[in-house]
Amino acid sequence: MDTNTSALRRPGPVPDGILHRDPDGGRTHTAPQTPAPPHASSRKPRRRRRLFRFVVTLTVLATLGAGTTAAVITAAVTARPDYPGTVTAGGGDGSASARSGGTPTAEDGYLADGDSVALSDAVPAVANLDPGLREALGQALAAAEEDGLELRVASGWRSKAYQAWLLRDAVRTYGSEAEAARWVGTPETSLHVKGQAVDIGPYDSADWLNRHGAQFGLCRTYDNEAWHFELSPSAIDQGCPPMYRDPTEDPRMRG
């Protein structure tokens, strides 16, 4: 019997699962071929893009939410009946701009932050101060100049409309009326509106006046305001009275 089976062989691929002999004479099982899974690195960019979009979305939503919350809080505060609004027109109440809620002008005694004027300047912030206070400040100025310092007015008389504008700004800055009251009086209680208080600058000049002001009847009133001075004629003989911690302790501010 012819044992040569070469005639029965057919060319073609080896079927899956057929055992065959490797070149070294060993037997190897050919495993079924399955598609290779996608490479892991090809999935990472997609995951990163999805994560990036997620983070950006959260950031945008948080920003919008914070802005909306702040707007709601501001609206709620300013809608309160006791919140200082605009001042109706009337003699001495202030400029048209300030009365309508806009920025005060020099007519209101307005001085921008960081600005100051001399005691000799003919501006409402100085001219509308109480005459006795201006006279005492003039005497103190002459003495301060001998020490190489100039007493300048950083804030003096203010219109009611200007004071209301300051109070609204303080409520926004400090977040509550209670905290704002530690720094800014109402248009009805502020001694600046009455022309009976002055803020002195720069700091060295205010410090000088704090140490020497009693001999001119000028006293610092509040411990938290190194710049705020008022006329106190009795201080010439008795010295300045103890300071209030802040305006909330001053009974004059409760009217």
Selecting from 3.40.50.970, 3.30.1380.10, 3.30.9.100, 3.40.50.12370, what CATH number does the domain 96-254 have? 3.30.1380.10
Please, are residues 152 and 117 in contact by the beta-carbon 8 Å criterion?
Answer: yes
pLDDT in tens, the chain (255 residues): 444 444 434 344 444 443 444 444 444 444 444 444 444 444 555 666 666 666 556 654 554 444 443 333 333 333 333 334 433 333 358 999 999 889 999 999 999 999 999 999 999 999 999 999 999 999 999 999 999 999 999 999 999 999 999 999 999 999 999 999 999 999 999 999 999 999 999 999 999 999 999 999 999 999 999 999 999 999 999 999 999 999 999 999 986
Angstrom distance (rounded) from CA 238 to CA 225? 22
Angstrom distance (rounded) from CA 250 to CA 196? 15
Q: Residue 210 contacts by C-beta under 8 Å, 6 or more apart in sequence? A: 220, 226
Task: Burial-class residue 195 by CB neighbours within 10 Å (0-12, 13-18, 19+).
Answer: buried
Continuous segment of H or E residues that includes residue 180? helix 177-180
